[in-house]
């Protein structure tokens, strides 16, 4: 009798520890579709063949049990849909994630919910694949200790659309080209979108709010960012869109509002004989509308609406050539000229100078008093009767008088 009970206990423990989903994956022929009913399935599964796993109803949960990566895929034609994925490990060195995808193409992850996972979706050397309509959050950690919601590394020609990233760290696109990043939402992260060494990407109609940085492009080229909204980037240096060492970029029809810095430009364009086009953007109610750092020439700024900002132009690098950018046909709400012929172009250029109230640009200790009556009075007196020569920054030869629409 004791022997029978002992054998039963072993069988029970074996069934308890078995990974039913992994067994089904291993036994399924290539190209199979596994439709899962609601329930909790053990994670740490591995897929290395063409296969579809779909939750046929809500409530399909794959749980990593707090260890490692919940789902790892390697190869092409793998699809994950309508799953809730929870409980990855917490090791950054192992990149513990909800989903890790590697060395494939024509894969898809869509309509999944990812919670309590350090990293969300980690794509490495994945091409021509789709991530769509996923809801992603990290573990409940301090911002810098969270993992990235989406990581794209050496992955090309993918579509990243309609995903929601909340309280993760960053979404990163590194060494990856030809991707379309469309209609995503991000809030309460660090970099809502961060590019490095990436080219020919399209960034369109995304909405980012309450992050430290909206979109930051570094060491990249040949990219278009159009129709994005960046709102309320947090912190004293909260940034809307940043350009560092980038060339042949187009920023068009973006709205940047309530940030510390609207557009930040650092050594861009970087490559000789190239330009960046900053066109038709709305730069509204920021502490700084456009911040130039280091040598940044040959940018073309046209038809932008620059409204309600505390400072329109900041140049924190003495001797740099801010005026050697093509800046023409923008709307400046503090333009003081007239339009006597009614052609909607100011009769005189709009010139921007650096006055006394910008002493804090070079001396951070002065910034404590920024916006105070003392600095405001110094600025007023400097414009009324300058006691030192103001620094000329730039001019718009044809400022727009009224914004159409």
Cα distance between residue 394 and residue 158, in whole Å: 40
Residue 4 has pLDDT above 50, yes or no: no
Examine residue 269 and say whether the peptide bond preceding it is cis (omega within 30 degrees of 0): yes
Q: Name the pTM for this structure.
A: 0.89
| Residue 300 and residue 324 in contact, taking contact as beta carbons nearer than 8 Å | no
Residues 306-319, mean pLDDT to the nearest whole number: 84
Cα distance between residue 357 and residue 367, in whole Å: 9
Closest by CA position to 150, among listed 161, 142, 311, 141:
161
Q: Which helix (H) or strand (E) holds 221?
A: strand 221-226
Predicted confidence band of residue 9 (pLDDT cuts 50, 70, 90): very low
Instruction: Please name every residue paired with 32 in a beta bridge, in sequence order, or none if there are none.
Output: 51
Closest by CA position to 279, among listed 306, 310, 239, 317:
306
Residues 46-55, mean pLDDT to the nearest whole number: 98
Tens of pLDDT along 118-153? 999 999 999 999 999 999 999 999 999 999 999 999
What is the percent of the chain with per-residue pLDDT over 70, rounded to a whole number? 86
Cα distance between residue 227 and residue 215, in whole Å: 13
The pLDDT of residue 257: 98
Tens of pLDDT along 83-119? 999 999 999 999 999 999 999 999 999 999 999 999 9
Closest by CA position to 303, among listed 167, 166, 403:
403
Higher pLDDT, 372 or 228: 228
Predicted confidence band of residue 1 (pLDDT cuts 50, 70, 90): very low
Report the SS3 class of residue 12: helix
Tens of pLDDT along 232-276? 998 877 999 999 999 999 999 999 999 999 999 999 999 989 999
Instruction: State the residue for tokens 């309320």.
Output: 232
Of 202-216, 352-366, 384-398, minimum mean pLDDT range? 352-366
**What secondary structure does DSSP assign to 272-299, as a single string?**
TT--EEEES-EEES-SEEEEEESS---E
Mean pLDDT of the chain: 89
Q: Which helix (H) or strand (E) holds 104?
A: strand 97-105
For the chain, domains (ranges, CATH) are 1-169 (2.160.20.10), 171-355+390-405 (no CATH)
């Amino acid at each position: 009798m004791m022997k029978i009970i002992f054998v039963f206990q072993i069988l029970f423990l074996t069934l308890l520890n078995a990974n039913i989903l992994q067994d089904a994956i291993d036994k399924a022929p290539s190209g199979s579709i596994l439709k899962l009913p609601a329930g909790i399935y053990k994670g740490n599964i591995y897929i290395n063949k063409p296969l579809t796993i779909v939750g046929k109803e809500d409530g399909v949960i794959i749980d990593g049990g707090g260890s490692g990566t919940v789902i790892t895929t390697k190869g092409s034609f793998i699809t994950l849909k309508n799953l809730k994925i929870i409980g990855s490990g917490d090791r950054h060195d192992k990149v513990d994630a909800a989903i890790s995808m590697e060395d494939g193409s024509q894969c898809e992850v869509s309509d999944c919910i990812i919670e309590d996972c350090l990293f969300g979706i980690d794509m490495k050397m994945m091409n021509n694949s789709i991530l769509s309509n996923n809801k992603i959050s990290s573990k409940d950690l301090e911002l810098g200790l969270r993992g990235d919601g989406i990581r794209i590394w050496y992955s090309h020609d993918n579509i990243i659309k309609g995903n929601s990233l909340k309280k993760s760290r960053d979404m990163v696109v590194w060494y990856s080209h030809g991707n379309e990043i469309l209609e995503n939402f991000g809030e309460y992260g660090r970099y809502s979108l961060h590019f490095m060494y990436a080219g020919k990407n399209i960034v369109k109609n995304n909405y980012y709010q309450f992050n430290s940085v909206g979109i930051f492009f570094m060491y990249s080229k040949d990219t278009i960012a159009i129709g994005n909204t960046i709102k309320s980037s947090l912190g004293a240096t909260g940034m809307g869109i940043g350009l560092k060492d980038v060339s042949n970029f187009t920023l068009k029809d973006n709205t940047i509002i309530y940030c510390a810095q609207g557009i930040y430009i650092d050594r861009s364009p970087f490559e000789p004989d190239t330009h960046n086009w900053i066109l038709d953007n709305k730069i509204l109610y920021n502490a700084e509308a456009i911040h130039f750092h280091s040598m940044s020439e040959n940018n073309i700024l046209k038809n932008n609406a620059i409204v309600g900002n505390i400072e329109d132009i900041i140049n924190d690098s003495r001797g740099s050539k801010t005026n050697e950018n093509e800046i023409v046909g923008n709307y400046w709400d503090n333009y003081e000229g007239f339009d006597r012929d009614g052609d909607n172009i100011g009769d005189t250029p709009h010139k921007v100078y650096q006055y006394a109230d910008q002493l804090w640009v070079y001396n951070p200790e002065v910034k404590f008093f920024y916006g105070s009556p003392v600095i405001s009075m110094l600025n007023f007196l400097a414009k009324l009767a300058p006691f030192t020569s103001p620094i000329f920054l730039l001019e718009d030869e044809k400022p727009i008088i009224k914004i159409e629409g």
